[in-house]
Amino acid sequence: MLFKKKENKKLDTENYGDQFEIKPLKMVVVIVNKYQGEYFVNLFVKKHGVSAAFLLNGRGTASDEIYDLLDISSNKKDVVFAIIDENKKEDILRDIDFRFKYSEGAKGIAFTTPLDSMIGVLLYRFFSNTKENIKKGE
């Protein structure tokens, strides 16, 4: 036989968290004026190495008085979602805060929330940038 058949080692995905180290993940949400969201998508992906960021169109529901009080000019919004490594949270929030302070058009809100669970090992590995499974205790 010229070629040796590659042995396919199947990963036990049912007990993945029991066997391998799990990086804590957070979801960051940024809500900004229309046409400002693309900046944050690029910030997450290019500067901070986030695997994916999602840009959605949104619309504010507050009254005109609230918009005037908060000095918000339009109810059309960009909503950006990204799943990040918890260790990157402070740097990412610092960059978002910097943009909010120094850019006239990029006013908005940002927050993070922990992700307690995720279905699918491949999905988790994608969002956490896990190239290699690290066994617990090693």
Give every strand in the sheet of 53-59, ordered side by side. Answer: 53-59, 76-85, 25-33, 108-114
Domains of the chain with bracketed CATH = 23-127 (3.30.70.120)
| Between residues 135 and 2, the one the model is more confident about | 135
Confidence of residue 26 (pLDDT cuts 50, 70, 90): very high
The length of the chain, given as a count of residues: 138
Partner residues linked to 60 by β-bridges:
none
Gap between the Cα atoms of 106 and 42, Å rounded: 14
pTM value?
0.77
Q: Give residue-wise pLDDT tens across range 45-93.
A: 999 999 989 999 998 777 878 777 877 666 788 999 999 999 999 999 9
